Amino acid sequence: MSSRWDEISPLSDRTGRQHSYLRVSVTDRCNQRCTYCMPKQGVPAKSHDEILRFEETLQLVELFVELGVRRVRITGGEPLVRRGAMEFISALGKLSQLEEISLTTNGTLLAARAQALADSGLHRVNVSLDSLRPDRYERITRGGDLADAIAGVQAARAAGLTPVKLNTVVLPDLQPDEAREIILWCNAAPRDFIPRFIECMPFQDIAAAGTALTDLQKALQRQFALVPDEQVSGDGPAQYWRVAETGLRVGFIAPLTQHFCARCNRLRLTSDGRLVTCLGHRDGISLRDLLRGGASRDELVNAIRRTILDKPRGHACAMDNDELFPNSMSEMGG
């Protein structure tokens, strides 16, 4: 490799984007079938051999951390359905250079695990909560029990996994009064919760239409005094506001109407060991195959660096076109 290679920061792409944030999907399986994420029948589960063993995942995460990754989010599928997930998080907790370990979960299995997760070194959780109405929650998740998710959220709060971000995917039938209910519910503990509303991304093979946040955001602005909160807008995709009376932060994430590709700092490691740099493309090198094929550390590092260097500029999906995202979130590690 030329000396020019040595001058490029290891986690940089051709446009200069730096990637210090890694999402690690530990399973493609899930105990729910959310309408916007999976087809009704679910997705064909990958075989045991296809999925990375936790020792392999840890080895790869260690390499990423050596290269400069400082934040890791565990996701899936539903990460808490995978046996050994707690031990894995505990092992991550020992990587001293990692500044943040977080988890994205549907929360239904969290109540019994939140304290142990916090004790293992987990810092924060994001919980998917698409409705506070039991019947609608059940319909969206195709059978989920809202009470389980709420118990998970409360346990996470009690265990100090805060602020708990509550992610609501905005589906075409989400009414502003339902979003308002979520904000009012969170207002009771404004320091511990951050509700976030997310545009639904249209994926191939999943019958969910893209949604725009604009109308919902305007309706909420009429109901609450929302003031922009620059402080936490940071380098993530969410735009944050604060409810003036309580200080509650409210996030809006708009991948379709406000592309944030130009400042995307994410990398994804899928449960079968592919490194994916953009949700909008089917790229991705199999680090699993390299690892199992006996690749040296340098070969792995070079493969990672080349994949990141070639990260696509962005995705092409928008409200005014019919482009679809090629892989579902459960497959890519949402």
**Taking the alpha carbons of 114, 102, 233, 37 in that order, is the dihedral positive or negative?**
negative
Binding ligand SF4 (rule: CB under 6 A), the pick from 21, 23, 330, 332 is 330
**What track of x and - describes contact with ligand SAM for positions 169 through 208 (by CB under 6 A)?**
x----------------------------x-xx-x----x
CB of 198 to ligand SF4, least distance (A): 11
Q: Which does 38 bind (CB under 5 to 8 A by kind): ligand SAM, ligand SF4, none?
A: ligand SF4
Half-sphere exposure (Cβ direction) of 205: Cα atoms closer than 13 Å: 13
**What track of x and - describes contact with ligand SF4 for positions 61 through 90 (by CB under 6 A)?**
---------------xxx------------
171-210 residues near ligand SF4, rule: CB under 6 A: none
CB of 203 to ligand SF4, least distance (A): 10
As beta bridge partners, residue 75 has 25
CB of 74 to ligand SAM, least distance (A): 9
CB of 322 to ligand SF4, least distance (A): 23
Q: Which DSSP state fits 18?
A: B
Please identify, using beta-carbon distances, which residue of 109 and 290 lies nearer to ligand SF4. Answer: 109
Q: What angle do CA 98, 100, 102 make, to 5 degrees?
A: 125
Please identify, using beta-carbon distances, which residue of 10 and 107 lies nearer to ligand SF4. Answer: 107
Helix (H) or strand (E) holding 177: helix 176-187
Q: How would DSSP label each residue in 269-280?
A: E-TTSEEE--TT
CB of 51 to ligand SF4, least distance (A): 15
141 binds ligand SAM (CB under 6 A): no
**Taking the alpha carbons of 258, 259, 263, 265 in that order, is the dihedral positive or negative?**
positive
Binding ligand SF4 (rule: CB under 6 A), the pick from 37, 72, 150, 261 is 37
In whole angstroms, what is the distance from residue 290 CA to residue 305 CA?
Answer: 14
As beta bridge partners, residue 228 has 241
Give me 63's structure tokens.
């390499």
25 binds ligand SF4 (CB under 6 A): no
252 binds ligand SAM (CB under 6 A): no
CB of 92 to ligand SF4, least distance (A): 20
Q: Which DSSP state fits 138?
A: H
Q: How would DSSP label each residue in 72-116?
A: EEEESS-GGGSTTHHHHHHHHTT-TT--EEEEEE-STTTTTTHHH
Identify the CA nearest to 38 among candidates 173, 199, 205.
205
**Taking the alpha carbons of 162, 101, 138, 145 in that order, is the dihedral positive or negative?**
negative
89-128 residues near ligand SF4, rule: CB under 6 A: 106, 128
CB of 15 to ligand SF4, least distance (A): 30
Identify the CA nearest to 16 among candidates 8, 4, 26.
8
Residue least distant from ligand SAM (Cβ): 334
Please identify, using beta-carbon distances, which residue of 134 and 247 lies nearer to ligand SAM. Answer: 134
272 binds ligand SF4 (CB under 6 A): no
Helix (H) or strand (E) holding 25: strand 21-25
43 binds ligand SAM (CB under 6 A): no
Give me 81's structure tokens.
């359905």
Interface residues with ligand SAM (CB under 6 A) are 30, 36-37, 75-76, 78, 104-106, 128, 167, 169, 198, 200-201, 203, 208, 329-330, 334
Interface residues with ligand SF4 (CB under 6 A) are 30, 32-34, 37-38, 76-78, 106, 128, 330
